[in-house]
Amino acid sequence: MANVVVVGAQWGDEGKGKIVDWLSERADVIARFQGGHNAGHTLVIDGEVFKLSLLPSGIVRGGKLSVIGNGVVLDPWHLESEIKGLRSQGVEITPDTLMIAENTPLILPIHGELDRAREAQISVAKIGTTGRGIGPAYEDKVGRRSVRVADLADDATLELRVDRALVHHDALRRGLGLEPVDRADLVAKLRAIAPTLLEYAAPVWKVLNEKRKAGKRILFEGAQGALLDIDFGTYPFVTSSNVIAGQAATGTGIGPGSIDFVLGIVKAYTTRVGEGPFPAELDDADGQRLGERGHEFGTVTGRKRRCGWFDAVLVRQTCATSGVNGIAFTKLDVLDGFDTLKICVGYELDGERVDYLPTAADHQARCTPIYEEMPGWHESTEGARSWADLPANAIKYVRRVEELIDCPVALLSTSPEREDTILVTDPFAD
């Protein structure tokens, strides 16, 4: 049976939550493979809104197994709060519906404190983090000083892991003018939260491989967009993990040969939150209109998103680095009513045309967009469920996007509602 990876193909906020939820009806397992609780998903199901930032989107569907893989950094107290909130909305969450990899590293309170302290002291080129400790938690992971889920099961191991982490953190805190970590308090908090996490802990790599061999369909869900990838994003204004599709394998413990289809989620225009380059950004009335019509505010932070025209250069680039087989094109309805639409088809850099975003930050800063104009449409596309429901110019716009990014549309989303989706190619088709 086909296994599908879903990745955001821009800077995030592309509408992954709805698409993953829509696809989860066809899946048996939904596995989150990177990121933390710094990226949010908003699901609208039968008029009820569910806001998720750590749990996989499939958790709101009964009879599915949701998995948090080892590529995630997990804040246990946030997880506890998110579970409580969903249960209050009638969502059943048990070890039969949720599983956490035993080797998942934890986000501790000291990570958030360090994150915020460092960001506050950077006077030039702020990264624009959410201050939730994601970056410092990943630093500890590669520095081999993380506290992981499995460590909570043994007091001696837990204390050893905490002591190793504090050798590093207390030195950093002194340099930032922070008080040393209260070791006893930290250990006590971890012991108190341990039963909550250990209830869901399991060897995820083993379970997923067994599910695959049994012919179950697995849906792999990422968090941020590929342009925030630590290697292939707009560095240093990126997240602290790999976001592209290859991370689905290492972030869950399943072999890359088990991935059958990569679906890139692409918004019909471009947005980003926080600092960093954005060649097609609009600071005019069109940008304001896109933001207002698209309700462009972060699910987690509430920060206003920067808006611009569709950038085909960037999406073509991320489709290549993630090996995208087809895209889910979202929020087409936000473009309703524009007389003219623009698509960024290349950049001008120092008098020359380039067809990709350069790696060097100074080159990125000097890139200016080259636009192609297309006629807009005044009919509504909201809620369309077939090509026949779309205006002719909307179809032309979608087809031109396909040509420019060298990748076909597999799904077309026309509203936040789950069923307002046009299926072109089923990613789960064998």
Binding site per annotation, positions = 12-18, 38-42, 130, 144, 224, 239, 299-305, 331-333, 413-415
Q: Is 141 a catalytic residue?
A: yes
| DSSP result, 357-377 | --SSHHHHHH-EEEEEEEE--
Measured CA to CA, the distance from residue 189 to residue 202 in angstroms comes to: 22
DSSP-derived 3-state class of residue 17: helix
Question: Measuring CA to CA, which residue among 85, 45, 83 is closest to residue 66?
Answer: 83
Interior CA angle at 8 toward 371 and 21, to 5°? 130
Measured CA to CA, the distance from residue 367 to residue 351 in angstroms comes to: 10
Measured CA to CA, the distance from residue 313 to residue 369 in angstroms comes to: 10
Q: Specify the DSSP element, H or E, that contains 24.
A: helix 16-24
| DSSP result, 34-86 | SB-TTS-EEEEETTEEEEESSS-GGGGSTT-EEEE-TTB-B-HHHHHHHHHHH
Catalytic annotation, pick one of 37, 64, 111, 141 = 141
Pick out the residues of the known binding site for GTP. Answer: 12-18, 40-42, 305, 331-333, 413-415
Measured CA to CA, the distance from residue 30 to residue 65 in angstroms comes to: 6
DSSP-derived 3-state class of residue 229: coil
- What's the token pair of residue 210? 């067994």
- What's the token pair of residue 345? 């088809």
Measured CA to CA, the distance from residue 390 to residue 68 in angstroms comes to: 38
Measured CA to CA, the distance from residue 212 to residue 201 in angstroms comes to: 19
Q: Is 185 a catalytic residue?
A: no
Catalytic annotation, pick one of 21, 37, 41, 140 = 41
Q: Is 64 a catalytic residue?
A: no
| DSSP result, 293-346 | HTT-B-TTT-PBPEEESEEHHHHHHHHHHHT-SEEEEE-GGGGTT-SEEEEEEE
Contacts of 148 (CB under 8 A, 6+ apart): 102, 103, 104, 105, 106, 161
Question: Measuring CA to CA, which residue among 26, 12, 1, 3 is closest to residue 222?
Answer: 12
- Catalytic residue numbers read 13, 41, 141
